[in-house]
């Protein structure tokens, strides 16, 4: 091979190698984040917060007489201060309730009916929630956000999907999703140093109409509370009722 041809050949080969390397590096840079890692980081971050408040706006589907879906809206205002103080208020189409956790006393009041019940619970938010879920008919996806160790309580999701980034209430978020046999779960988690869950959607695939629940969260992680904020005082005329433990079958 002549000298000129050899030089041209080496130049083309070098360019090809450089182009291949550049494409390879680009492919690495463009690889998607792992959805389950993003979710677990959010759970771990929430567990490190000693106090916070959020407002949650929910839209939940319900099946009406096995014929169609109807939707209900609610607003949940929540204040938390670890280790043992929690206050919530739920208002909307079906509910007007408040709950108070202060040290070892949990109170729930129906503001519309003006009656309330109280039970003694363990003295931390985590253990109080465990006790309430095990012994009473209380269910709420939002309660998962209150644990200090949710990343350890839930098994890592094996397969997830990364859909990119999008804005929720002006915050850039990772949009990820997980599909299971009984439900699909999508969640939007703030990108950056404060991986707060800003939105989530749950689709119940076990029901014929596949009802959907959508929640948008607005956080305040610099919230300040005093002791009396979590102290329940019965309104005038309120009636105290007994609280029944759930029967285990």
The predicted-structure confidence for 73-114, as pLDDT tens digits, reads as follows 999 999 999 999 999 999 999 999 999 999 999 999 999 999
pLDDT band at 27 (very low <50, low <70, confident <90, very high): very low
93: alpha, beta or left? (left if phi > 0; alpha if psi -120 to 50): alpha
Q: What is the 3-state secondary structure (H, E, C) of 61-90?
A: EEEECCCEEEEEEEEEEEEEECCCEEEEEE
pLDDT at 5 over 90: no
**Residue whose tokens read 């208020």:** 89
> Which of the four pLDDT bands, split at 50, 70 and 90, describes residue 244?
confident
The pLDDT value given to residue 156: 66
**Residues in the chain, total:** 249
Average of per-residue pLDDT across 31-35:
85
May I ask the CATH architecture of the domain 35-228? Clam (2.50)
């Amino acid at each position: 091979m002549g000298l000129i041809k050899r030089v041209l050949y080496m130049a083309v080969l070098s360019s090809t190698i450089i182009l291949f390397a550049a494409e390879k590096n680009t492919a690495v840079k463009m690889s998607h984040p792992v959805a389950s890692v993003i979710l677990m980081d959010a759970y771990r971050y929430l567990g490190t917060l000693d106090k916070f408040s959020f407002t949650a706006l929910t839209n939940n589907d319900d099946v009406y007489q096995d014929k169609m879906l109807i939707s209900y809206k609610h607003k949940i205002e929540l204040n938390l201060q670890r280790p043992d103080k929690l206050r919530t208020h739920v208002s909307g189409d079906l509910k007007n309730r408040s709950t108070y956790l202060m040290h070892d006393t949990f109170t729930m009041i129906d503001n519309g009916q003006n009656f309330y019940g109280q039970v003694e619970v363990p003295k931390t938010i985590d253990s109080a929630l465990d006790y309430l879920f095990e012994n009473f008919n209380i269910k709420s996806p939002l309660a998962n956000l209150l644990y200090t160790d949710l990343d350890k309580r839930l098994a890592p999701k094996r397969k997830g999907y990364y859909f990119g980034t999008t804005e929720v209430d002006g915050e850039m978020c990772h949009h990820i999703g997980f599909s299971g046999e009984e439900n699909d779960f999508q969640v939007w988690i703030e990108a950056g140093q404060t991986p707060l869950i800003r939105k989530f959607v749950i689709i119940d695939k076990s029901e014929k109409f596949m009802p959907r629940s959508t929640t948008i969260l607005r956080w305040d992680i610099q919230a300040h509370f005093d002791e009396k904020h979590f102290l329940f005082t019965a309104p005038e005329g309120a009636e105290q009722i007994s609280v029944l433990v759930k029967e285990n079958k």
